[in-house]
Structures are given as C-alpha cells and as structure tokens.
Structure 1
C-alpha cells in the first residue's frame, strides 16, 4: 500500500458540497491499495503511521507520534498514488488494486488505525472529493509497504 501523510492543523473532505470528514490537528492520509496488497500491508501501514514520530516535542524536535498527541487522522482514498508516468506524459493506474479490493482495503486500513487508538474520519471511496487542509510545518511523508 502507498500513503502520502501530511501533518495538518486541520483538514476536511467534501463531496458535492457535503462534508464527509473533518479533523483538527493530526494527519491527512492519502492512501492507495496496490495490486497484490492485502490485510498484512494495511496492518503494517496503519501500525507505522500511528507511531510515525513527526510531531514536535517540548524542545521542538519531531519526536512525538499521533498516538502521543491525541490527534486524529483523515483518511482519503487516492488511487492516483499508483500513477505510472514511465511511458509518457499521461499517467497509467493499472498497478492500483481493482476498485472492489481497493475499497475493502481502504475500509480495513481505516479500521486498523482505529484499533491503534486513533480517531479516524474518512473521505468517500470512489467519489470526486474536494480536500482542504492546512499543512503544518509543512511536513509531508511518502510511505510504501513495497519497499
């Protein structure tokens, strides 16, 4: 699985003008299930993100995890993280999981984050979403369970 994690002051997702998820301080997580991914990859990614030390401690060092801060996560499905641009200027997405499996793993990943003790809000799988955020730092981290 792939994820783009952004430390945020706040983030929200709307679909057709309707807010589907919003958080204050925490992480915006754009996530994509790849072909061949399963629950093991979702477990690994959720565990890693819950413990990723990218929040400042009292000395201003990135030494605290989301679990330490009590922050929340806004999880948004993002199949375009599977983009392959090696053959020209139009990206291909054939390495992304099929939609049904992608949706299942997206829901499973969100549930795994919850089981780690993280408050989770969600976008809407497969929808045309507007995502608004205030990136804090800015801090943006790329994670991939395949390497």
Structure 2
C-alpha cells in the first residue's frame, strides 16, 4: 500500500483528482503480483461491493497509462493487461494455467541494446520479452 500512497500523493501534488474509482483501481493493481485485464479489475471492484462502468474503468486505466503510473502488458495471443509501472521487467507465462510472473533481468539487455546500436545503427526505444512454459504448479 506504500506504493499507492506515494502515487496518490504525486497525483494530488500535480493537481489531479483522486476519485474513489481511481484509488480502488490502484489498490487492486498493487494487491496482485501479476498483470490484470480490465475485466479482472471490474471483478475485483464487484467483490468489494462496489460498482463501476466498464467504459469508466478503461478511461481510468488510460489516464494511469498517460500519467506513467500504469503500463500495458500485451502478451502473445492474450487480451491486454495492465500493471503498475515500476522497474523494467519481463514475464514468465504459463501456457497451461495462464499464470504470469514478473521476472527482472539484469543489465545484460542494456549491453545487447548497445551492440544492436553499434552493429545495425538502430536505437532501441523499448523492448518486450516473455518466456513461455510451465509454472511450478503445472509441471
């Protein structure tokens, strides 16, 4: 909850409104260790005894992305998901149960990006890396 409190403080300092729905979405995103779809977020809102319009949830997610508070995760053949922005990381995706785990990867990729620039004169602006396999539960 510390991360959300910090985010809420930043929003307030920037003159942004802190709506109940915005606060709830942030707490839900912090609660889960893996990316969530808009449908997942709507389900969690309902479990809390609250209601929200699907369009409004998408609008809030779009605001969080534009504010660089959240980011999208688009994995091969799956619906778009959302997570709080943080340190750059990659994902481990279970092909059986669809569990997604975050996986930080050390500076090797920075070195690779430098090699790409030197060899191809191509400046990498971003990248996405996912590993697909079976999680511990599904093995």
TM bracket (short chain)? under 0.3
Of Structure 1 and Structure 2, the greater strand share is in 1
Q: TM-score, normalised by structure 2?
A: 0.27
Q: TM-score, normalised by structure 1?
A: 0.26
Of Structure 1 and Structure 2, the greater helix share is in 2
**Bigger Rg, which one:** 2
